[in-house]
Amino acid sequence: MTVVVFGSINRDLVMRVPHLPQPGETLAATSYDLLPGGKGANQAVASARQGVPTVMLGAVGEDAHGTAMLAVLAEAGVGTGGVQRLSGPTGLAHVFVSDAGENQIVIVPGANAALAAPTVFPAGAALAVAQAEVPAQAVARFFTLAHEAGARTLYNAAPALAEGRGLLPLADIVVVNETELAFFLGEQTVPESDAALAAAARRLMARAGQWVIVTLGGAGVLAEGPDGTVRLPARRVPVVDTTGAGDTFCGVLAARLAQGETMPRALAVAVLAAGLSVQRLGAAASMPTRAEVELALA
């Protein structure tokens, strides 16, 4: 029931600002934090905090940020034996968070851009997870190895990039937000109604038996798959920082599916966990433990 995550590892430089800056605008931040991040690392931490064995495959630089990120992953219970240490810097993300909890992120790829595909897939793993912050060719190889080993594959197609289209058929489960959904369909507008969202998700399906899951922020999630449409709302919660909410969703979803839970149940738990994460500052730092999730479910 192990989850294997192949993806980015970053250090997040998080600044709180009154509002997100406009072009040419200079703002004074009200606070500054150096936090763990990267979509791959975030999703691995979210999975591990659900008590599910989780392995991270990624790369960091030979710098203090890399050392710190390895320690963060290990502390969260993530296996780091497959993390490469490369010459040069660790990936960095400059994150601005407004008083309303919205964020704006600029990423410096660093070691993530040089991440090579694994040569073998970890034995006994049930679910393989990847995102779009590492080279697409490496992700394709990772998914191929996962399928050969009998594991399911989950692709969080974020950020939305043209090369990500070629990876969609390799994923058993595709997770996108509304904007990413529109991008991959080549459409200018985001579907608004549930019926339109469901139809758009079906159009994105690359093959039979695939799940396409659309995260809707505070409105919850809509999923299309072999069992039809699953539409789940999110609880109304006070929002502190939305950074990492999508990664929390993906990591918890992967963990629960790896444990054998049904897709509707895993989706419900993942939506609730994402709602817990937005009530705290940071990405990996905000992700709930299994005990916190179970308490909220109760």
Contact 188, 199 (CB under 8 A): no
pLDDT value, residue 189: 84
pLDDT value, residue 113: 96
Report the distance separating Cα 187 and Cα 206, nearest Å: 17
Task: Show contacts of 223-230: CB within 8 Å, 24+ apart.
Answer: 223/263, 223/267, 224/198, 225/263, 227/263, 227/264, 229/198, 230/263, 230/264, 230/267
Residue list for the binding site for ATP: 177, 215-220, 246-247
What's the predicted TM-score (pTM) here?
0.92
* Stronger pLDDT, 107 or 26, i.e. the higher one: 26
Q: 224: pLDDT confidence band, cut at 50, 70 and 90?
A: very high
Q: Residue 271: is its pLDDT beyond 80?
A: yes
Q: What is the mean pLDDT of residues 240-255?
A: 93
Residue list for the binding site for K(+): 241, 243, 277, 280, 282, 286
Residue list for the binding site for substrate: 10-12, 38-42, 133, 247
pLDDT value, residue 276: 95
> What percent of the chain has pLDDT above 70?
100
pLDDT value, residue 160: 95
Report the distance separating Cα 10 and Cα 92, nearest Å: 5
pLDDT value, residue 198: 95
Q: 243: pLDDT confidence band, cut at 50, 70 and 90?
A: confident
Q: Which of the following is catalytic: 63, 99, 227, 247?
A: 247
Report the distance separating Cα 277 and Cα 274, nearest Å: 5
Contact residues for 180 (Cβ-Cβ < 8 A; gap 6+):
157, 158, 159, 160
> Annotated catalytic, 247?
yes
Report pLDDT digits (tens) over 60-76.
999 999 999 999 999 99
pLDDT value, residue 197: 94
> What percent of the chain has pLDDT above 90?
84
Contact 252, 47 (CB under 8 A): yes
Domains of the chain: 2-297 (3.40.1190.20)
Residue list for the binding site: 10-12, 38-42, 133, 177, 215-220, 241, 243, 246-247, 277, 280, 282, 286
Q: 58: pLDDT confidence band, cut at 50, 70 and 90?
A: very high
Q: Does the bond joining 159 to the residue before it have cis omega, within 30 degrees of 0?
A: yes
Q: What is the mean pLDDT of residues 238-264?
A: 94
